Structure 1
Amino acid sequence: MIPALALYLIGFLILQDFFLWILLRSNFRAYKGKMEEEWPNISILIPSRNEEANLPACLRALESLDYPKEKIQVILGNDQSTDQTASILEHWAKGKPWVFIVNISADKLHSMNGKANALSQMAQKANGEALLFTDADCMVPATWVKKMVAVWKRSEAGIVTGITNVKGLTFFEKMQSIDWWLTLGMVKVMDDLDISLTSMGNNMLISKEAYHAVGGYEGIPFSLTEDFEIGRQIQKKGFKGVHVVSSENLIETKGQKNFSDLLMQRKRWMAGAMALPGIWRIVLGLQVVFFPAMLYFCFLYPFEGLLIWLFKVVTQSVFIYSFALKSGERLKSWDLILYEIYYLITSWSTIVYYFWPSKTDWKGRKY
């Protein structure tokens, strides 16, 4: 009985990867086309807390944006940094009348997480028709704003989610990159079926109308994943959400430096995942249960088990590779194979760490 249940579970997850690939090929919404109207005024919001190592590259990328400069407002938030973040922001802002620096106060940290508190104060200064969000450890392409705005205008969405890739040369960074491709690939496939699961705060556009409709960040329930929560509240108000994936809006970000930081990040993400509808929590749970089921089946039937596991890895790899290719990124086959080991370790470590009785540390603040 138990071997049969294990085999059913394994088969379900293999079919899931297969159908994800089929849907990616047959139902992918590229949102191509040119803007037919004048570019609107937009505001870009980037909060920073002790980001002296990352800010120079982030700010240089902003200088290369091909969006009309007279239509851009950049709002930079200094969230009580104790390093050189403030001086880097002030130096870069000199001679740029379209750049504003907001020194964040901690008045509302009791009702919002640190990032939501910063973005709430920054958004009060925004004069654009749309608010674009990214992080200080990210580098945007020159075409980022035009692509996000064009999709927003054509789709009439309240919120537009972009695509982000972890860039790095180490094995740990490459594995994080593949992890992002897999997760965002699933999100994109569901979104193209008009089932929106989440948004992503380091590559996101929200129309000012939608932002004010939910009362901004101060108007949403407390959450460690403020991007997930504001996206959910915006869609509850009846606004459409879309996920656009292309090389034109592909943002590069830094990976976590070590396994401890990765688990802390995943614990925060899990808090958002637990707010998903029950059916999606079950699907996520099955992803994790796959590994003990597979190991059990391999113990009973070594040859057949390893063959089935290899087929699962190949199916999963084809989906990830195909999705990354939509953004012009080519992944290496060997990395995709090794990812299965990484996935086994991190998925179970994340579950254990999420339920471990400890607070989540984010940018030096504990929740």
Structure 2
Amino acid sequence: MGYWLNLTLFKMGFWITWALIPIVVEIIPAFVSGIRLLIKTFHRKRPTMPAKMPFISLMVPVYNSEETLFNCIQSIHDSTYPTELVQVILADNQSTDDSFGAFVKAQNKFADMNMQLIHTQRGKASALNTAIYESIGTYIINIDSDGVLEKNALMNMVLQFENDYKVAALTGTILPAKKMIRQKKPWHLKILQYNEYFEYAQAFLSGRTIEARNNQLFTMSGAFSAFRKEALLNTFMYNVDTLGEDTDMTFQIRDKLKRKVAICTSAIFYIEPIPSLDNLYTQRQRWQRGEIEVMHQHTKNISVRNFFNDFLIRRMMIDHTFLFPKMIWLFASIALLFFRYSALMMGMSYVAIYLLYILVSLLNYICVRLLLRDFPDENKFYAHQWWVAFSQPIYNFICSCIRLVGTINGMTEIAAWNSEKFDQEAKGVGSIIRSDFKNLKKRKKE
């Protein structure tokens, strides 16, 4: 008995402390939030239809969107929202392909649409800012040109505005297109895309719904967001000096204007699934660097003492600070074995934490199923992906590693839309390691 007590409290004490970090910081709060969301989804109120539907403006930033632009415009035209009440502004920020040809094709096909093309400076933020001044709608909605709207998305989003006058801005629900995921492709890419779909469904229909409950939504999606025009015109517009212009706009409305930012779970926008691990690698680094830039600009008086009072401090600690302990575990697992730590107990702690992450995913899975009950086809597709809950912790860990790389690169490189691809950085790291070993061999000879 004394041996096991000594092993547990003294030799394993350090490891147990590290193992408790994800349980206390991530898993327990996720369980509590998931249960609250589960209860709330059973008491959803149906929106009421206003006597008169408002006029809306859709902004679509366009950059080399020749292949996707027509389908995007068609999804606007086929929406259940009255076409005569929709203004569509295509903001072309210096495309080099035949995006204009796609616009002309759509203009001829959908002659009943109020649609115009404007030319703007390079960059998504600049394109959106120019389009804002061209808009005449009560609500301004922006969507990316490489996705398509679910037919009821615009109607559901406007109805949420009309039923809650406290809401100044809304983010829609983003999901990878299930038809494209089902297409024939290598098995490893298919697994990656299924995990991405599962992640998006839980991030929006569970994560952002929980955040929005106390007006703590961290970021609206840049791919599909909506605003009351009067609120948007009271901001400093989209920030052209950051990679996270969508997060910056969220902070402006919530923290500067002290207005409410929410999510419309019933407004779905379909995007293309991630085409490769390289694209995931550059995408998540861009998101991480944009998030850090915005947090640096908007967050002041950062202190661990405010961890339980300020959700932004908690978000920063979880998204950035706790990335490092996660990576430390990889090396600590190996190093601690040389200090006679029990490999069995370390392995069991990893398995226990992994199972807890799976339970969190399954709880969120149930919540998402409830929120998708108005979309039978989507719900059915998501229901068949229950098995992804078992691979999701690994996928999330890979994304955490990429975000950590993004943090490090953000401190050493000038911000750019696309960072180096994974294979390029891997070759660079490999050459540095080989060079270091050569130098060590030379020193030993000397």
| TMscore range, shorter length | 0.7 to 0.9
Contact 1:24 1:323 in 2 (8 A): yes
C-alpha root-mean-square deviation of aligned residues, in Å?
A: 2.5
Give the TM-score of the pair, scaled to structure 1: 0.87
> 1:106-185 counterparts in 2 under 5 A?
106=122, 114-156=123-165, 157-167=167-177, 168-169=181-182, 170-184=190-204, 185=206
| CA–CA separation in structure 2 for the residues paired with 1:192 and 1:58 | 31
| CA–CA separation in structure 2 for the residues paired with 1:208 and 1:10 | 41
Contact 1:132 1:206 in 2 (8 A): yes
> Match of 1:213, SS?
coil
In structure 1, what is the equivalent of residue 105 of structure 2?
A: 91
> Displacement of 1:31 after TM fit?
5.3
2:245 to 198, 214, 226: 226
1:3 to 11, 15, 25: 15
In structure 2, what is the equivalent of residue 347 of structure 1?
A: 400
Higher relative contact order (CA 8 A, sep 6+): 1
Is 1:320 the counterpart of 2:364? The answer is yes
Q: 1:215 to 1:31 in 2, by over 3 A?
A: farther
Q: 1:287 to 1:117 in 2, by over 3 A?
A: same
Q: Which has the higher helix share?
A: 2
| CA–CA separation in structure 2 for the residues paired with 1:343 and 1:298 | 27
Contact 1:203 1:251 in 2 (8 A): yes
| CA–CA separation in structure 2 for the residues paired with 1:105 and 1:194 | 33
Greater C-alpha radius of gyration: 2
In structure 2, what is the equivalent of residue 23 of structure 1?
A: 36
Q: 1:10 to 1:47 in 2, by over 3 A?
A: closer
Q: Which runs of 4+ in 1 moved over 6 A?
A: none
For structure 1, which segment, 271-280 or 237-246, has the greater mean C-alpha deviation from structure 2 after superposition? 271-280
1:68 to 68, 79, 82: 82
Residues 108-143 of structure 1, C-alpha deviation per residue, up to 9 Å, x if partnerless? xxxxxx101001111111110110111111110111
> Match of 2:88, SS?
strand
> Displacement of 1:267 after TM fit?
1.9
User: Aligned letter for 1:233?
Assistant: Q
> Displacement of 1:97 after TM fit?
5.1
User: Aligned letter for 1:318?
Assistant: L
Contact 1:44 1:72 in 2 (8 A): yes
> Displacement of 1:84 after TM fit?
1.6
> Match of 1:24, SS?
helix
| CA–CA separation in structure 1 for the residues paired with 2:70 and 2:143 | 14
Give identity over the alignment, percent: 19
> Displacement of 1:347 after TM fit?
1.2
In structure 2, what is the equivalent of residue 209 of structure 1?
A: 230
> 1:189-268 counterparts in 2 under 5 A?
189-217=210-238, 220=239, 222-235=241-254, 236-246=256-266, 249-268=267-286
In structure 2, what is the equivalent of residue 100 of structure 1?
A: 116
| CA–CA separation in structure 1 for the residues paired with 2:21 and 2:418 | 39
Unaligned 5+ runs, structure 2? 1-12, 183-189, 296-311, 334-340, 374-378, 420-446
| CA–CA separation in structure 2 for the residues paired with 1:265 and 1:194 | 26
> Displacement of 1:90 after TM fit?
2.0
User: Aligned letter for 1:4?
Assistant: I
> Match of 2:393, SS?
helix
Give the TM-score of the pair, scaled to structure 2: 0.73
Contact 1:42 1:72 in 2 (8 A): yes
> 1:302-341 counterparts in 2 under 5 A?
304-325=348-369, 326-328=371-373, 329=379, 330-331=382-383, 332-341=385-394
> Match of 1:205, SS?
strand
In structure 2, what is the equivalent of residue 111 of structure 1?
A: none
1:59 to 63, 73, 88: 73
Q: 1:355 to 1:280 in 2, by over 3 A?
A: same
User: Aligned letter for 1:196?
Assistant: L
